[in-house]
Amino acid sequence: MKKFMTSLKRQEGFTLVELMVVVAIIGLLSAVAIPNFRKYQAKAKMSEAKLQLSSVYTAETAFFSDYNIYHWCLGYMGYNPQREVLNRYYAIGFATASTINTAAYDVAVTSGLSSAPTDCPNAATAADMTDVSAATGPTASVPGNAKSFAAGKGVGSAKALVAWLPTSAVGSQADQMNMTFTAGAVGVIDGDNTTDALASKLTIDHQKMFRVVKNGF
């Protein structure tokens, strides 16, 4: 017993200096790891925008094959991301809605395109297009003349607004050789970048070219 007690007394613990060194190392690792973790999180969220923009491209391509023009009436094309609005960080669609060349549009109507104001109208006026708000429920019907869809999710109380969409529009479609469109996405995916100027922004065009306008993290 005496030998055992003596052995316990001889056991040494960590010194204060050693503990301070360990704490300093943990602090250094945290300072490096946490920002990188936030960056990886933001990148993962950005993949949502690429998927949504790819869906817009698919809808536009299918629409073009039927009517030989591109258009901004995403709802009419069957593109409806509102079903996932509660899980969607990005607002998607067109910042502006151009009036389609009359001759090209009339040919599309002859091919079966519905020109009703709530379907796929030609006039690019406020009365003829819809920006679907985040408040519109996931199961609500989406009008054919919907040109954009607001984000339903963000960081904290900050969410991307349709008004923040990067430059994106449909060309006039007057020139068969140069019919174009550019769709946009904008999202708040980082707590330090919650304004229009700092939010994440991407675009896709008729050639399926992605462009990262701003990372947003």
Average pLDDT per consecutive 10 residues, the chain (217 residues; last block may be shorter): 54 69 70 63 89 98 97 97 95 95 96 96 89 91 96 95 96 92 97 96 97 95
The per-residue pLDDT for 39 is 75
Closest alpha carbon to 207 in 74, 37, 60: 60
Helix (H, G, I), strand (E, B) or coil at 91: strand
Tokens 């990372």, located at residue = 215
What pLDDT digit, counting tens, does each position of 143-178 carry?
999 999 999 999 999 999 999 999 999 999 998 888
pLDDT at 40: 74
Distance CA(15)–CA(22), nearest Å, equals 11
Extract the runs of DSSP E, i.e. beta strands, from 90-180: 90-93, 130-132, 146-149, 169-170
What 3-state class would DSSP assign to 79?
A: coil
What is residue 10's predicted lDDT score, i.e. its pLDDT?
Answer: 56
Residue 143 CA: distances (Å) to CA of 3, 21, 121: 87, 63, 11
Handedness of CA 114, 84, 203, 132 (dihedral sign): positive
Give residue-wise pLDDT tens across range 103-127. 999 999 999 999 999 999 998 888 8
Q: What is the pTM of this model?
A: 0.82
d(CA 57, CA 206): 7
Q: What is the pLDDT of residue 41?
A: 73
pLDDT of residue 206: 97
The answer to whether 91 touches 137, Cβ cutoff 8 Å, is no
Q: What is the dihedral of CA 56, 204, 61, 147, to 10 degrees?
A: 40
Cα separation, 145 vs 45, in Å, equals 28
Assign 170 to helix, strand or coil: strand
d(CA 8, CA 24): 30
